[in-house]
Amino acid sequence: MLRRLYNWTLSLAATRHAERALFAVSFAESSFFPIPPDVLMIPMVIAKPLKWLRIALICTLASILGAIGGYLIGMFLFEAVGQPILAFYGKEHSFEQIAEWYNTWGGWGVLFAAITPFPYKVLTIFSGATGLNFGIFLLVSVIGRSFRFFLIAFLLNRYGVPIRDFIEKYLGILFTVFVVLLFGGFYLVKYVF
C-alpha cells in the first residue's frame, strides 16, 4: 500500500497541477502524511531546473504551515486522545517528565527532524503536545526546512539528473551526520571547553 501511495505521489509531478500537489503533499507530510515531499520536488526540479527557487519555496512554505498544523494537533488533540491512553497505562506522570526534558532540548530535536529523513511529523505533533516554545519551534522549522529543500533544489538545478541518485541514496545519511556533528560541536563547546 505504501508503494502505491509513493507511486501516486510521484505521478503528481507530471501533471499541470504539480505545484499545487507539491504544496499539498509538503503541508500534509509535516503533520500526518507518510511520503516526504522530496518525492515530488525532485522530478519537478529536474523537469524545470530554472524554477528550482520557486519549487523549493513552495515546498518550504507549505511544510512550515503543515508543521504549524502538526503543532496544533498536538496542542489541542493530545488532551482528548493521548492523556486517556497514558492514564490507562498509569504513565501520565512519565509524559510530564519527558515533556520537561523536551521543552529544554526539543528545539534541537525539531531541527534534526526538519533536516534529516526522520519523520518530521512526529516532532511537530509532540512539540504541540509538550508545549515547546512556539517561537523556538517555528524558528528551527524555518531554518531546517529551508536548508533541506533549498539545498536539494540547488543541487538538482546545478548537477541535474546525475545528482538525483546521490540525493535519493545518500543525502539523508549526510544530513543526519551533519546534524549529529553540529550537536556534537555544541555539546563540546558547552561541556568540554
Q: Kindly report, residue by residue over 58-108, the tens digit of the pLDDT.
A: 999 999 999 999 899 889 988 886 667 556 666 667 677 778 878 887 888
Record the pTM.
0.78
23: left (phi over 0), alpha (psi -120 to 50) or beta: alpha
Give percent of the chain with pLDDT exceeding 90: 29
Indicate the number of domains in the chain.
1
Mean residue pLDDT across the chain = 81
Q: What is the pLDDT of residue 190?
A: 60
Q: Output the pLDDT for position 79.
A: 80
- Taking the mean position of all CA atoms in its chain, how far away is CA 30? 6
- Torsion sign over Cα 34, 11, 166, 44: negative
> Which domain covers residue 74, as residue numbers?
1-192
Widest CA span in the chain: 56
Quick one: pLDDT at residue 109?
Answer: 81
